[in-house]
Structure 1
């Protein structure tokens, strides 16, 4: 879709424009469509277009450290200058993400101007009749010029006719002779043809608009921002602390309007409060950043690690806008692959040793326990004593890369894919006696995961033995009777394996009969047979397990074969368990259509218990990962 866009723009050689691509997009164009690069190069040489600067890997600027902001912008600037012979002068932030640091960052990189949508300016206090003028924005004594984006025209995009777009632009220009407004169209969604409402014939969208703009120069004067700044002094000034975009507003809203953002700017960082997995990606990115700062000496190794880190900072994986975003398992997989690769490069042989680290990884005020070795990372949260990251480092893959499905603004009340607790590994449950497999599969299951939200106490941390002991005291309600119980949960780490040992003590004076379950959510790349197979290894004659859904009793060992990564994941227990297996899907809006998108595999391992007063039940689960 880019080629006809460039060809049409090239035809109108007196019509100026600015273009923005991420570094990766330009790389792909250069590799697969060098003719497009040649057209852009020619338009730059004849001073028709300017390439805007930005982050090389389309980063979520409000989330990443200052050094990475500067580094990504400089990396892209260097690429543009080496390829086109001219340094960018303007800056584009993906999705108009903005924070108060941006003027200082942008100016420090030698860039002079940027763009903000009109809603952001209005929310910052600019009156409606003053919206469509350039403004100075300043931070720490450094300022840049921002040009207003016309949100109403841009939101309609190629769905409006060229005549409608032209009329809107002329209406803006008619208000004041000094009015300045910027309009961007997404070249990736460019529609070469449209049907004329007058003649009902096929017309060429961009060609018609360019022709109309060329013929209306008495009312509209197209100009490149850098040329405008040479001839005009900017006198208006504004301070903008956050951004305001319809995409961000929709991402933070649910269908009931909770977190409604109408009329105010908000930091993109607020997205971390909605999506737990975005916050974990952010925590991993920040943790890896600290690890790289401690890497000394080998500049080549450090630069490679830094670039892997930057690749993981793409904004697409942190949220759900008009794209699949955080609900894309492939996108999250790629981000974790880059992060694990950067982390692996930071571990120097002879310097790095297996260890258990206690740190506030996700910035929730509680320390998490991180087991790290050359083969595996196992990160355990004190809430629920659950595993929230399980990296098998030889293949750079996180098997805990699951997602908690949230209610989105487009969901109806009957949406069947909403989770009430975080979908992690080793979530503890006491199952109601009347709960059956068909009910559990349904999204409105009475299994609410109360213990997943509860804070377990760390009663013993044996770093040399690589063991962590958790304890949690609660009371469960069975047949109108409260039973106080104490749960101890011990993690033991070995080379390619983690063991979880359970001890459940009945502190009541009555025999307690219940069903205890451990829920294991594993991120397998797909549910398709060519990507994964699931077998019951309890008996050689046992049939395979259906990847979509199955209930099976008497299981002692189940095996996932991850064909895409060439690994085997085993889940075993000495005590036979009842297995409830279900592939998890989310109802996701992607490019305007709601689709059922695969997320991960969910396995519930359960045991029926009868524990005498002051009695104890003990059980153990082993989870191992190895090369196939």
Structure 2
């Protein structure tokens, strides 16, 4: 009889910082019913990976799921896969952190389940050849990646059975290929379709092995899948078919197969992830071009033949595509470097709590974007910064560094890090802008923002529907969470940093500012400033042009006991008078555009409070405050003389599991001053940024006014 072997693997993950209700929903709709269904089929072998961020939450909130998993593991045919504990993209973190995260997961699985993990899930299947060494050094013997990795290395589809060995620097590891055909069929096609695919691979010697390993969220969380998988009993029917056909269809685990079979051959895989990821990493127009090219191949029936030769970008391209992602990633590397330097210079390691905060900040989800929210979700970016700041604060208690100068983001320009007990600020010499402003008491980056990018999928926005989703892959759905989202699609030319200099004509409007269509007559945003250190701060100076006329711009930033003091001098060095509006833009990201506990307040008057998502052209403003009662702090800009002020929300239109959505990213605040400068004359401005923490609470934990 012809037989075949089959490994079914599930990866369950929720990111650090995700909402409790999302965790609960995932448990109720996917994780728990999957395990409960599997429990009724004791002859089915499977492999599972649960990320550490999900595990920590389950331990505190839903321990019954881990208890059920433990019960299944004890019956002997369930494998547990290791990985970086907090689900990092291993290629984006230092080798010392790779090892630290992998070993942390190994220790947890041994302690909690008495299980010795030998294999590892690879986050987003992002592979680079150098990963062999840290994986092997962590005691792991094999990983799982897509068949696309192997096709890109020159192997043919019919060769992809069992596992292969690869090596680097004398270390060896096994690599199992995941079948894309199975990944696309399960659970979207009838269960019999998967059985038929497996039967096609059966052989007389029974040595053929096929693997389907993918996200557990496909089985209950993706649109329409809970209805299909559990209400229509797709999973139960599939497990029944596996059981009924076990005379020729043998389920197994990676561990069992690897322990009893030799590798097919030695292979060297190129840098890769699954194919869709390679599309998402590309610049916008290139992404559209690749999408059209693939569809053209499909229409001509040439996709299978061309597949090994069609490649997009690599995961690291996200760091050049999104400057916000690059900044976060370089920040965590900097913190990791600080820890390493301290451990080299001090006796013994730094406290484990500091490393755990660093490791939590390495959770991958907020660093990239495809069809999930990812980078576009402010609360996920906030979690990265929150844990980085916790680690930094703890490190600062060991070795205080009040002023550091370095090129953190590796763009060829220096950043200046200033810190006191109240706040931390990073100032860029290129553009003389504030890249990051942290409220230390709340471990909160108040300038956690995202620019409004052009995305390749935006061309599909006019065709999106709000109709309820049927069953299907999220890669194919074109849905929208609300109507007319195209009316909110605006694009930013520059990052949404702060302390940005703008020079506008006198007739410029707040609405143009909101739409990012205001015409800035200067070039300072991309000008390198000369930087001098001054007492408690820095002084930045540059020559530039306003409407093609030369000016000298000098900016000073100094730390104060409660925040920052700003001094700005604009000198006309032209032979002609210059006049217009000068604005200094700040972008504050407090996570809740419509939340009642997060608001604007003008001139210290509580009656002026309004949502951060609102916009206006204000006059006679001597103080504007953005406040978060939830995080218990406020940030105010205080002006000695009242100013005109524009404010506007920054909202992005992005893709998520449930379709297009509008996401509040930040509140843009722009104080304005009129100027009319004759040749040789200057305008000098001074104002302050004040941090108030804690706030006086005005609402209870339920959002009700006290």
TM-score, length basis structure 2: 0.82
Residue 614 to residue 337, structure 1, CA distance change in 2 (3 Å):
same
| Aligned twin of 2:689 | 623
Give structure 1 stretches of 5+ with no counterpart.
none
The reply to whether residue 352 of structure 1 matches residue 408 of structure 2 is: no
Matches of 1:265 and 1:101, distance apart in 2: 21
Matches of 2:203 and 2:317, distance apart in 1: 38
CA contact under 8 A between 1:253 and 1:260: conserved in structure 2? no
Residue 450 to residue 553, structure 1, CA distance change in 2 (3 Å):
same
| Aligned twin of 2:320 | 273
Within 5 Å, which residues of 2 pair with 1:597-608? Answer: 597-608=663-674
Deviation at 1:545, TM superposition (A): 5.2
1:285 to 327, 332, 355: 332
1:379 to 408, 421, 426: 426
1:319 to 359, 368, 373: 368
1:579 to 641, 645, 670: 645
| Aligned twin of 2:171 | 142
Which has the higher mean CA deviation after the structures are superposed, 232-241 or 290-299?
290-299
The reply to whether residue 118 of structure 1 matches residue 122 of structure 2 is: no
The reply to whether residue 163 of structure 1 matches residue 236 of structure 2 is: no
Q: How many residue pairs align between the two structures?
A: 614
Matches of 2:635 and 2:430, distance apart in 1: 25
2:619 to 534, 553, 562: 553
Residue 222 of structure 1 aligns to a residue whose secondary structure is strand
Matches of 1:433 and 1:277, distance apart in 2: 32
Within 5 Å, which residues of 2 pair with 1:232-311? Answer: 232-253=261-282, 255-258=284-287, 263-264=310-311, 266-295=313-342, 302-311=351-360
| 1:45-75 deviation digits (Å, cap 9, x = unpaired) | 2221100011111112111111111111111
Matches of 2:667 and 2:648, distance apart in 1: 6
Give structure 2 stretches of 5+ with no counterpart.
1-29, 291-308, 462-485, 696-706
Greater relative contact order (CA < 8 Å, ≥ 6 in sequence): 2
| Aligned twin of 1:566 | 632
CA contact under 8 A between 2:504 and 2:521: conserved in structure 1? no
Residue 226 to residue 303, structure 1, CA distance change in 2 (3 Å):
same
Residue 499 to residue 37, structure 1, CA distance change in 2 (3 Å):
same
| Aligned twin of 1:96 | 125
| 1:251-272 deviation digits (Å, cap 9, x = unpaired) | 3235533497772375422211
Matches of 1:202 and 1:523, distance apart in 2: 41
Deviation at 1:455, TM superposition (A): 1.8
The reply to whether residue 593 of structure 1 matches residue 659 of structure 2 is: yes
What root-mean-square deviation, in Å, do the aligned CA atoms of Structure 1 and Structure 2 show? 2.6
Residue 26 to residue 568, structure 1, CA distance change in 2 (3 Å):
closer
Which has the higher mean CA deviation after the structures are superposed, 50-59 or 241-250?
241-250
Residue 423 to residue 158, structure 1, CA distance change in 2 (3 Å):
same
The reply to whether residue 518 of structure 1 matches residue 584 of structure 2 is: yes
CA contact under 8 A between 1:555 and 1:576: conserved in structure 2? yes
TM-score, length basis structure 1: 0.92
Residue 285 of structure 2 aligns to a residue whose secondary structure is coil
Residue 522 to residue 69, structure 1, CA distance change in 2 (3 Å):
same
The reply to whether residue 473 of structure 1 matches residue 546 of structure 2 is: no
Within 5 Å, which residues of 2 pair with 1:141-220? Answer: 141-173=170-202, 178-191=207-220, 203-217=232-246, 219-220=248-249
Residue 96 to residue 175, structure 1, CA distance change in 2 (3 Å):
farther
The reply to whether residue 461 of structure 1 matches residue 536 of structure 2 is: no
Deviation at 1:133, TM superposition (A): 4.0
| Aligned twin of 2:514 | 441
| Aligned twin of 2:468 | none
Deviation at 1:172, TM superposition (A): 4.2
